[in-house]
Structure 1
């Protein structure tokens, strides 16, 4: 159980060390503020017992659970602060990678005899012999413990062993033949402060046996600006202990078990001389536990009397791969000039080299060279490096035929010879003749030679067979000797519902000659739940398959899945319908949907169909116009209610349905004629068709480069396009007046002599840009697309 109470991340900012002593001198359940100090906003104070109980009742969590949450929160904050640190990792920083909670104050009695007792320790007094009893006793503020019916004795300041003798003397006055066993059952808690260059300083309530490293860990440890070499314990305004973490981290030495008392301050000063160690040192920078990223070096902190020899010692010395003759020292002078010097790798030279702030010491890495070995690679039983000896030849490395595999290619091997000046030469040999001892192929080997052997399959094209058609797993498969058509069918899965299950075709390809096509009785080749034709060996019914053959399966000519169409807008029952006739028509679909509503405008009905090619001749130039229209800047204020009303009005009529930059998929259909029974105007419905019946309107629309670029106007009988453009404020300077288009309510596009055309309800005048320009209204772009208008048309049925 963790009894560490993190009292706060910070202390009052104006408190100096002298005031801090008074600050800590308050009772443990209450910290008094210095009269002239202003508490830091982030500082926390300990809660009274009543406050803790109240919080526990309010949150429904136990004290232990609340403490766990506080510790978890502090750990998260410290991790976030450490994540901001950049640069090389500091030596000994890994001591604080994980924030460990303070050890529990509760013990099992296993406290050493030299432990010095103090106020707050809870003891167990076990008396046996002429009298037998076991009572708890807490050291009070006077340093005494009280044993009922026996008396009191002072134990504060005594070791546990000495205290046991004192209690024995007290008990002996009452019971002459009684013995005493004294154990510490709960350690006293002390309040200490961690200040200076730490991640989360403040006041901490810890057990009296907490080590300095443990208490430092509660604060996250020294920051990138804090010292690891001169951590100080301040008591009564005097520094009474110094802690150097380097001996602990490097050699496991150092007095970290210093006994802390209430009011002690652990202070971390600014870092001293800081140098960077890079290269082939034994103690290389480990990857960060937080990010997993490795560092390029380790940052060391040195004391004034320490030298380069101490720095190398902290790094554990050099790696075997390091260049051992000298190290390099990089230094920046006060003028910013970088200099590099070599330091001989001797104890005396390193001892004589003083290091300064921001120096960089590098241990260079030697380039590895392979000497006295021959390398064997490729399709061989035991590839690798082998020792070279005088007179070594290819056959010796192959050890007869023990190194060869069954598929090793014997026609050729390669030898790449590397000379001392790094030139390389390629030599080839016949492996079979080398094994026979032919001197011209059983080549003499030299150090650094590399032999490569190949496999027979390197000289064979991959042998594949293919299955196409409505199988569940069509594709390309490996060919095997003895494979038959039924084996290929089995690999392709089972025929789909649309497949003709009666016959298939197998196409043989022979050396570029015309394909030989064999007709197969597919039913006899299929594997089913009842069995598989594995015993069918008839070459006519189940022919053998050669490499690169193709098996084809075809669909039924009259097969069809459910054909569906969608109708929306102003009909009684909008939705998706399955076509139940061979040639259903538009009028029949509208009748199935319950007919039109009273607000329907069939004249402006929209019929959408995915086109496979070409398109409507009337679409000439409209795709480009729409692309430019989509770039027109919206000039209407979007924040005003009027502007919103204009945009809403534009959405209501689905006038641009089926128009896109890529193609026109809106068909011009005479809905009124079709509904009146005119077969010539009715349209046969196809799978995927979409029909939308918009709401009745008496308005026409202007879209594009006008003074009111997106506007709705009530149609006056007899009004022309020119009148509508004039009402819209006229054309802008960037309007393309030669490409103005009139889109009629039924989808027809008028592109000639537009200004004189009569405007009817539901019509739209499109005025594109003359010059494309960048716009900043991308949020409105989607509102002009056919999909957005389609959704709006359905929504406002």
Structure 2
């Protein structure tokens, strides 16, 4: 919907054009009742007097008497006062200035946004009062605003002069009792389409289409000069539309009330261009030449190295520099340095938006039926091997799109796989796996592990696995909450006493708190490698690798931890001969509220061993370095708790690390 031209001028209220009180009065300012005058004289007479002009237009000065100043222009005021004082004294100097100016009460009537009586400064003008009243309403005229003084029209103001030319020459100062009348809006015509200021305009007098377009700021850069449409209401009977060529004859036609002229834009189509886009150095339109082919558009592989690649590469250098500085700073903690190094690893991986050499496409428009045809070709053969069969001919308007391997999933054998090796490797770092290379093969190629490597504790974490675990955990928690709600309804039906209700409420609060803590759990994405306790490098499975995999082999830890409902949660020195029961005894044994039957061991390799799996033999199990023994609390055996099945299953199925053990408290 087109706006009414000029309405936004009054959007911010009267402060925009409100009169300023502390500006000097102009020379032609007319003195009137309510004005304050400051009279200073020195010489034969000494006068320093503030006088207010009374309703009779007089001021009274001691030793001089009454002086009539009403109707006097400010530029003549000193002369009038000098003449009056001169009748009594001689040989004096005189200065007369204005103090507080009088207020003026005027009336804004007709089709104003806020018609009414307004008290404004005597310096105010017609325009100031218009802003105080919010300007003309949508039904009011902007082009014939009248200032009336008695029976006389002092001035007629056209706001378009102010808006379009900055012309305020017909503005007039206000006097008490003035009336500002805003008549109904005149004929309206709208200009839309490709002009600089599309809007609805009020017509004044005879207005040609050329003048109407001038009001709209003229044609925009992309406007057609030979095509425009004119919608018109004829004889208040019917609507008609006409197509115009914006020549002199058409522009001379008079505009009429209700007209809508729409200037059409030129087509965005480039007549002689082919476009290169996607994973390229510079997405651009190029001029088409007769006989042009793909190799003309992409002459060599350098045309496909993106600017983003170099920007990210430069960022990686900056991150590395910052990480080094953080390492040298005495006040910078190791956490900040670790974060910087982690970002550095991520940025190295992000550099690998490799080009998909197997697939690119030409997007071509069929001019006959306006259908779009996608013409695929082998980019590598066309650019790298100069294969004439893949060096396809181009046509004007073609769009050639180059993809990265991330855009279009390549086959496993052609997909780039980046793996982070961290910890006790002879050469830790970021490696690009060869097609079909397994975890064990990659570690061997990277130089193997150090003598301190604890292979049993190797961690392989994978983003796709983490997402699956996250989804399974979310679904499980949704089911738990549904079971909770159903169980609460059933329990509430059996409540008979206030004590039962209080117990039910406490139980529900505990259940909700547990579920809330479980929602905070974050799966790690760890894949259990099922390694023997004395695992060596050769025991690592031939696991296929995915892009973004992280492999951490820690040094051999010296502790076994005991968590949960025991008297002394702590980490204890690993002793090969000690069993689970020995470590539990060191921790003071299970507490009274412990659920001994659900005790489990979270192994350093990510696996879980529970009493349900090994029965009474769990107590005699010899933990390995880095293992954690967990004793959950004994929650009431309601339906919703049984839904959780077994804490050991939760930790195993959802890939929860040792940090999640706190949820059991």
TM-score bracket for this pair, using the shorter chain length? 0.5 to 0.7
User: Is the 8 Å Cα contact of residues 18 and 128 (structure 2) preserved in structure 1?
Assistant: no
Q: In the alignment, which of 51, 55, 60 is matched to residue 146 of structure 1?
A: 60
Identify if the C-alpha distance between structure 1 residues 376 and 329 changes in structure 2 by more than 3 Å, giving closer, same or farther.
Answer: same
SS of the counterpart of 1:242? strand
1:216 deviates by 2.0
Q: Which residue number corresponds to residue 382 of structure 2?
A: 434
Structure 1 residues 40-189: aligned runs within 5 Å: 88-101=2-15, 107-108=21-22, 110-127=24-41, 134-171=48-85, 176=90, 178-189=92-103
Task: Work out which of the residue numbers 399, 403, 419 in structure 2 matches 1:481.
Answer: 419
Cα distance in 1 for partners of 2:20, 2:257 equals 46
Per-residue deviation, 1:320: 2.0
- Note if contact 1:282-1:317 (Cα within 8 Å) is conserved in structure 2: yes
Deviates more, 1:210-219 or 1:99-108: 99-108
Task: Work out which of the residue numbers 237, 246, 270 in structure 2 matches 1:336.
Answer: 237
- Secondary structure of the 1:309 match is helix
Is the aligned partner of 1:315 residue 2:229? no
CA distance in 1, matches of 2:144, 2:403: 64
How many pairs were matched up? 421
CA distance in 2, matches of 1:244, 1:98: 20
2:359 maps to what in 1? 412
Is the 1:409–1:455 Cα contact (8 Å) retained in structure 2? yes
What is the distance in 2 between the residues matched to 1:105 and 1:171? 34
Instruction: Measure, in 2, the Cα distance between the counterparts of 1:153 and 1:418.
Output: 90
Shift of 1:258: 0.6
Q: Which residue number in structure 1 is paired with residue 264 of structure 2?
A: 364
Q: Return the match for 2:406 from 448, 457, 473.
A: 457
Asked if structure 1 preserves the Cα contact closer than 8 Å seen for 2:277 and 2:401, the reply is: yes
What TM-score, normalized to structure 2? Answer: 0.55
Pairs within 5 Å for 1:627-646: none
Separation in 2 of the partners of 1:356 and 1:236?
A: 35
| TM-fit CA distance, 1:232 | 1.3
2:275 matched residue in structure 1: 375
**What pairs with 1:618-629 in structure 2 (closer than 5 Å)?**
none
**Aligned residue in 1 for 2:501:** 575
Structure-2 change in CA distance of 1:120 and 1:399 (3 Å): farther
In the alignment, the residues of structure 2 paired with residue 574 and residue 423 of structure 1 have an alpha-carbon distance, to the nearest angstrom, of 73
1:570/1:458 Cα in 2 relative to 1: closer, same or farther (>3 Å)? Answer: closer
Note if contact 2:356-2:405 (Cα within 8 Å) is conserved in structure 1. Answer: yes
Q: Find the aligned partners of 2:205 and 2:270 in 1 and give their Cα distance.
A: 44
In the TM superposition, what is the alpha-carbon distance from 1:315 to its structure 2 partner? Answer: 0.9
Residues 275-354 of structure 1 mapped to structure 2, 5 A cutoff: 275-284=189-198, 298-334=199-235, 336-347=237-248, 349-351=250-252, 353-354=253-254
Deviation at 1:448, TM superposition (A): 1.9
| Distance of 1:342 and 1:572 partners within structure 2 | 84
Contact 2:14 2:133 in 1 (8 A): no
Higher RCO by CA contacts (8 Å cutoff, separation 6 or greater): 2
Aligned equivalent of 2:397: 448
Are the equivalent residues in 2 in contact too, given 1:483–1:545 (CA < 8 A)? no
Report if aligned partners of 1:233, 1:240 keep a CA contact under 8 Å in 2: yes
Measure how far apart 1:686 and its partner are. 6.3
Please, which runs of 5 or more residues in structure 1 have no aligned partner?
A: 1-86, 285-297, 464-477, 487-510, 512-532, 556-560, 581-684, 690-797
Question: 2:138 aligns to what?
Answer: 224
Structure 2 CA distance for partners of 1:112 and 1:547, relative to 1, 3 Å: closer
- Render the CA deviation track for 1:258-298: whole Å, top value 9, x for unaligned: 121111111111222122222222112xxxxxxxxxxxxx2
Contact kept? 2:365, 2:373, Cα under 8 Å: yes
- The SS at the match of 2:37 is strand
Q: Deviations over 1:535-582 (max 9, x none)?
A: 974444426568977999999xxxxx9x996698764745333899xx
Q: Give 1:214 deviation, angstroms.
A: 2.4
Distance 1:417 1:145 in 2: 89
Write the deviation string for residues 94-153 of structure 1: whole angstroms up to 9, x where unpaired.
222122159888844622222222222222334467766543222222323333334443
CA shift, 1:246, in A, is 1.4
Segments of 5+ residues of structure 2 without an aligned counterpart are 306-351, 425-435, 437-448, 477-483, 507-635, 641-665
Q: Residue 302 of structure 2: SS of its match in structure 1?
A: coil
Report which of the two has the higher share of helix.
2
Q: 1:136 to 1:247 in 2, by over 3 A?
A: same
Q: 1:574 to 1:180 in 2, by over 3 A?
A: farther
Residue by residue, what CA displacement relative to the aligned partner does 1:674-729 show, whole Å, maximum 9, x if unpaired?
A: xxxxxxxxxxx96379xxxxxxxxxxxxxxxxxxxxxxxxxxxxxxxxxxxxxxxx
Does the 8 A contact of 1:409 with 1:453 survive in 2? yes
Q: Is the 8 A contact 1:106 1:187 kept in 2?
A: no
3-state SS in 2 of match to 1:241: strand
Matches within 5 A, 1:629-668: none
RMSD over equivalenced CA pairs, Å? 4.3
Aligned-partner Cα distance in 1 for 2:149–2:22: 30
Asked if structure 1 preserves the Cα contact closer than 8 Å seen for 2:38 and 2:96, the reply is yes
Return closer, same or farther for 1:171/1:373 CA change in 2, 3 Å cut-off. farther
1:398 Cα offset (Å): 3.4
